[in-house]
Amino acid sequence: MKILVTGGAGYIGSIAAQLLIEAGHDVIVLDNLSRGRRELIPEKAHFIQANVAQVGNVITHDDHIDAVLHFAAFSAAGEAADHPEMYWKNNTVESLQLLDTLRKLGIKKLIFSSTCFVYGNPAVSSIDEAITPNPINPYGMSKLAVDMAIASECAAHGLGAISFRYFNVGGAYKSFGERHTNETRIIPLALAAADKGKPFYLYGDDYPTPDGTCVRDYIHVVDLVEAHLLALRTVALGKHEIYNLGNGRGFSNREIIESVEAVTGRRLDVRIVQRRSGDPATLVASSAKALKELGWQPKRQSLENIIGDAWKFYTQPICTEQINNRGAK
C-alpha cells in the first residue's frame, strides 16, 4: 500500500513510518517540522514539509494514496489548558481540512491518533470504549471533536476509519524515539534528570491514588504502532471504529521514578510542585476490544522494557550528517 503519514517526523509517527516501510509499504511523510525532527524521518520515506491543512496542495490523485495515518497534533495537556486556541486550530480545524482533502481525492482509509484524554476523569478502574467521553482539558476536547467529525464523514461519504485512543506511550525503536525541544512527558524528563543530575519536578502528590501521584497506563510505542498495521487490514469502508490502546495496568508517577532509577542506576532529586491544570488522577485502559477485534497483543508490557528502551535511545549519539540528510528527497 501507499500510505501518507502525517506527523511522521514526530515520536510515534516516525516509528509508524519505519515499521510500515519494514512491512513493505510505500510511505510518504508529511510534517511541518514545527515540533517534529528531521533525524526521525525514515531514510526510505519520501518527505514533504508542509502543514496538514496543505495536504490538498501537495498530494494529488496521481499519488494514488491508499490510506492516511494521521498523527500530526499538539499533545501537551498543560499547554492546551494555557493556550486552547492553538489546539482547536492545529488539532481540530486542520484535521477537518484533511477530511475535506481525503474526500476530494477519493482516499477511503484513515487511521486517526486520538487520546484517552477524551474520557476526562471517569470514576472507574478500567476505561473501555463504552464510557461516554467527558474531556476536562482542551487537548481531549480537540481530539474528541475530530473523532465525531470522522464518524460523520464515514456515515455520509463512505470513509473507512479507525480512531485509536492512546494511553501513555513510552519506549523507543532502533534510532527512533522521543526527542522534543520542549519535553513534557514524564519518562524522557526523568531520564534527562537522571542523566544530567538535575532536579526532577513531580507535579502533585496529593491525588486520590495509593501513593498520592497520578496513575497512568503506559504502553510500549512498538506495541502501539503494531495495532495501526493491523488496523490497515481491518478498516471497513463506511464505518468508524474506536479502540483504546493501553497496557491495562496503571503505574503511578512514583513507580515511574523508581523504575528510571533502577534502569539508569542513578538517584533522582525529586521535588514536589503544584499539580498541572487538567491532569486527571487516574487513566487506565481496557483494551479488550482491540485484543478481540484486531487480534492485537502487546508484548512489551513491563516498565523495565518501556523505560529500558527509552534509555537506550536517549543515550545513543546523534550523527550530524544523519540529521542533515535523513528524509531529504
List active site positions: 139
**How far apart are alpha carbons 192 and 268 in whole angstroms?**
10
Are the beta carbons of 21 and 41 closer than 8 angstroms? no
How many other CB atoms are found less than 10 A from the CB of residue 82? 13
| Residue closest to 180 by CA, chosen among 9, 324, 47 | 9
DSSP string, 234-262: H--TT-EEEEEE--SSEEEHHHHHHHHHH
Rounded Cα–Cα distance for residues 33 and 45 (Å): 15
Q: Residue 151 in 3-state DSSP?
A: helix
Q: How many CB atoms lie within 10 A of CB 237?
A: 12
Other Cβ atoms less than 10 A from the Cβ of 2: the count is 13
DSSP conformation letters of 72-137: -----HHHHHH-HHHHIIIIIIHHHHHHHHHHHHT--EEEEEEEGGGG-S-SSSSB-TTSPP---S
User: Phi then psi for 165, rounded to 5 degrees?
Assistant: -95, 105
